[in-house]
Structure 1
Amino acid sequence: MNQKFSDGTKPMTVFAEVSQNYKPVINAEVWATLESDSGPAQTLQLLDNGAGADAFKDDGVYSRYFTKMKNGRSSLKVRVKNRDGQARFTFQKRGGAPYVPGYVVNGNYEPLKANYSNMSLTSSSTGESFEVVLKSTTPPNFPPNRITDLSAEFQEDTVFLSWTAPGEDLDQGTAKSFKIMWSFELKMLRFNFSNAHEVNISGISPQEAGSVEQHSFNLSFPIQNGTTLFFAIQSEDKELVKSEISNIAQASKILPHPKPTEVLEIDLKFVFIAIAVCLATVVIIGIIAITTWALTPRKPS
């Protein structure tokens, strides 16, 4: 058994891959338990929501941060349940190297040997132990995790934003506040975030980590056709520690061009020809009628 150490200054990332016959399983209920010889066990639900410690949503890899580590030796256990029969296979695949279930401490990876072959039953797996030696009696204050799934869209002149709520400490707890900024230029948000245009969100109270956040607002000007705007968010915790700037979301207003009114263009010369033909026909019919009347013999009175 390899000895793993942590000084508590960095969070521990726990991730477990749930699959059957190499097919990823989603909508499972996955719990990780950190058992310490110096205190009570800590239990945390691992999520496959593409936020916080989880890289991709619905890929069968369930992840979470452990931030409250204690002095002493600890071991990790993961339990998987088929929640109300909702677990199912997914066939989507991500590019790059595959995940290997386990945990990361101070940048060192420790594999977790797991076997979740029967999703109708509760399955458990135990990882190797590691030791925590805290540098300070004061627990570290981690910032809120970076928001990675911000999306934006226009509906008429209203902007709609959606993202997964970060936590007070990474993906744990509830952040204190958000700052939403927008710009006509992507580079402004990426390199000069604080000087972009700020959205008034005084009425927003952040929700618990992992919740879906949605916010709509109107800008101070009408959004014209062809307009593209960029949006980003930064979170802050109670100790005023700021998160990294979120992914930059883009919204564009592109309206389809109206169909041109079809105008029937008729050549005037054809109109004149048609009128002339009609008049000639009337004249000819009149001449024939008069001639016929004149040549018809009449009885003497």
Structure 2
Amino acid sequence: HRAPRTWLNDTVFIDSMVGNKTVFIVTWQHALPDIHVYSPNGDMYTNAHMLITAEVKKAQLSIPGVARPGTWNYSIYNKNSQNQVFTVTVLSQATDESVPPITIHAEMNKDNNTYPNPMAVYAEVFQGSNIVIQANITVVIDRADGSKVELVLSDDGLGADSLKDDGVYSGFYYNFSGNGRYSLKVKAEGIEGTAKISMRAQSVAPYIAAYVDETVFEMNSKKASSGYKQFDTDSFSRTTTGGSFTVSNVPSVPTDDFSPARVTDLTAAIVDQEFQLSWTAPGDDLDQGTVSSYEIRVSHTLKTLRDNFTDADIINPTRLSLQPAGSVE
């Protein structure tokens, strides 16, 4: 959305896995803008290089050959006398048909929601049948009142995420602006040397190092090799739509209706003849914010903790400094 006589400037990254049949598509609301597209080596494309279809308010730029890898810049000037909404879509195909490009798929846990239930958003990143881990996933949510908010998805086994590094990135969304429809756009970015392609293994179950049978602590056998192989990716950027959902029953005045997410990675170690507990902090609201307190209890039996938690002995966490969600406690 641009005011009259202002520029919209942004970039798109085209990696070495794609670049074939690359197309920039620009749409506008009222009048054709001035459009400039710059390749990584400085080549400039303007309206004169584009196929303009005025009746549907669309301009299409087809890059000849294989688009040069790197950061492409585009600038759109609203020369009209009124505000305009512009959209920019970039499509590109694999440069080598034998090497599948990285793709992203996103979805939500439901299409229709009733407050105070949160929404769960999921995204998966693939290269062919293999998963991509340690990517950065950001969701832009167009809210019912027209505003936008960002949500970061994680693959850390915490909060909305079930299993760490399984290629499924997850997050809760609950910051509803009102009743109505919400739409999502999901962006995946990988930094060379950080994001990795993980060869998908078949029927791999989570490894559990030990278990407690009432009062007896038993160790499982040593974890066998899962057969996973990991490879660094080149830098990449992918964007996809995440669909839309509707929300009803949202109160007009904000209320605190969301409890902290569960702690799922609690560990205990003996340090200087004391038990040292460690876990990842949840949030005051699911996996966001900072909790106001913790209640820690101890018992000689697992059954008491599991079935009658309030009957167990309470521990005074006076040395505990409350940390934001995602931090180590």
2:283 to 164, 167, 175: 167
For 2:187 and 2:180, the matched residues in 1 are separated by 23
Two-structure CA RMSD over aligned residues (Å): 2.3
1:185 Cα offset (Å): 0.6
Match of 1:32 in 2: 139
Match of 2:274 in 1: 158
1:74 to 2:182 alignment: yes
1:154 Cα offset (Å): 2.0
**AA partner of residue 75 (structure 1):** S
1:203 to 294, 316, 319: 319
2:296 to 180, 193, 213: 180
Match of 2:151 in 1: 44
Alignment of 1:149-298 (within 5 A): 149-213=265-329
Query: Are residues 89 and 43 of structure 1, via their aligned partners in 2, closer, same or farther at CA, if it must alter by over 3 Å?
Result: same
Q: Which moved more, 1:123-132 or 1:54-63?
A: 123-132
Check the 8 A contact 1:75/1:127 in 2, yes or no. Answer: yes
Match of 2:103 in 1: none
SS at match of 2:322: coil
1:27 Cα offset (Å): 1.3
For 2:152 and 2:173, the matched residues in 1 are separated by 10
SS at match of 1:189: helix
Could you tell me which runs of 5 or more consecutive residues in structure 2 were left unpaired when the two chains were aligned. Answer: 1-109, 206-232
- Provide the TM-score with structure 1 as the length reference: 0.58
Match of 1:124 in 2: 239
For 1:41 and 1:124, the matched residues in 2 are separated by 16
Query: Are residues 152 and 94 of structure 1, via their aligned partners in 2, closer, same or farther at CA, if it must alter by over 3 Å?
Result: farther
Check the 8 A contact 1:18/1:61 in 2, yes or no. Answer: yes
Identity %: 42
**AA partner of residue 181 (structure 1):** R
**AA partner of residue 291 (structure 2):** A
For 1:208 and 1:169, the matched residues in 2 are separated by 11
For 1:199 and 1:95, the matched residues in 2 are separated by 40
How many residues align structurally? 191
1:147 to 2:263 alignment: yes
Using CA pairs under 8 Å that are at least 6 residues apart, name the structure with larger relative contact order, 1 or 2.
1
Runs of 4+ in 1 over 3 A off after TM superposition: 91-97
1:119 Cα offset (Å): 5.7
For 2:202 and 2:307, the matched residues in 1 are separated by 29
Report the structure, 1 or 2, having the larger helix content.
Answer: 1
Query: Are residues 209 and 92 of structure 1, via their aligned partners in 2, closer, same or farther at CA, if it must alter by over 3 Å?
Result: farther
| Higher radius of gyration, 1 or 2 | 1
For 2:126 and 2:234, the matched residues in 1 are separated by 9
For 2:254 and 2:161, the matched residues in 1 are separated by 24
For 1:64 and 1:174, the matched residues in 2 are separated by 16
Q: Kindly provide the CA deviation profile for residues 24-54 of structure 1, in whole angstroms up to 9, marking residues without a partner as x.
A: 2111111011112413111011111111000
Check the 8 A contact 1:50/1:57 in 2, yes or no. Answer: yes
Check the 8 A contact 2:261/2:283 in 1, yes or no. Answer: yes
Match of 1:13 in 2: 120
**AA partner of residue 24 (structure 1):** I
**AA partner of residue 186 (structure 2):** V
- Provide the TM-score with structure 2 as the length reference: 0.54
